[in-house]
Amino acid sequence: MARLYDSRKRILVTGGAGFIGSHLIDRLLEQGHEVLCVDNLFTGTKRNLDHLHNHARFELMRHDVTFPLYVEVDEIYNLACPASPVHYQHDPVQTTKTSVHGAINILGLAKRLKAKVFQASTSEVYGDPSVHPQPEDYWGNVNPVGPRSCYDEGKRCAETLFFDYHRQHGLEIKVARIFNTYGPRMHHADGRVVSNFIVQALQGDPITIYGDGSQTRSFCYVDDLVEGFIRLMETGPETTGPINLGNPGEFTMLELAEKILSMTGSRSKLEFLELPQDDPKQRQPDITRAKEALGWEPKVQLEEGLRQTIDYFKHRLPELTAA
């Protein structure tokens, strides 16, 4: 049984040593909860949690969610999975196992504990969308056998498992579909466009743009995203999701590159490369459901969020690249 003896909860965050997970943990600790972070440190890093080393309400457990987990907690946030193409294509079989076997293990744990459980899904379930912007009732346009399928289809299958556990076992679930997110603690070599452009600009390397730079993305600052997580988790059992969480402000890759060059004062040149297979041409969330169900929408403007992220990389890049 989940423990109900006071307002302080013991909360499990899988993938908590990652970029988004570490920010979520900070927020949960600020709220006064105990947090158990579970991570196999494949893409996450203890560096993201260094500031919590002596925190009395924080615990780190090194564990792979593809194996069963036996702990006692009140709520679960399941964020475990490599989330950038560079990382999830490195070992695609393990990526699929993390999404699918990981979901089965976490759902089994939640069922035993009768605990509310949150699934960090992704806008990649929409694939290369033929509907724009993407609402939650759009089923997507996903290649099931391409190089990105390990992540796209793994996350789609995880959503299926969450809703089947909800229907079959009455489990209280929350499913969020995360759109492009950025901010401090991004991995410097994860291949994502914001970290790529910033690192390249700061180092004076060419800014690598895939295709002609006309493809679009919508960028949500990590603090806004975490606020959406918390609000979704605090809703009643009738709100399951899926709910899009992202910033509907849409920018081309060329616009983003030029903004980062301007903000860093870099003299880096633009270098255009071939567009990767199945790379989405457009990505923009319809957040109507998040506004109505959660009273949530992003607050941080792109320029302010980029300033915070650039400052992080300016201070940490020598340490990160030397590690």
Residues identified as active-site: 151
Cα 183 from Cα 118, distance rounded (Å): 22
Cα 43 from Cα 231, distance rounded (Å): 26
Residue in the block written with tokens 């603690």: 185
CB 10 within 8 A of CB 45: no
Non-local (6+) Cβ contacts of 149 within 8 A are 92, 142, 143
Cα 76 from Cα 106, distance rounded (Å): 8
Residues forming a β-bridge with 177: 121, 244
Non-local (6+) Cβ contacts of 224 within 8 A are 247, 298, 299, 300
Cα 109 from Cα 235, distance rounded (Å): 21
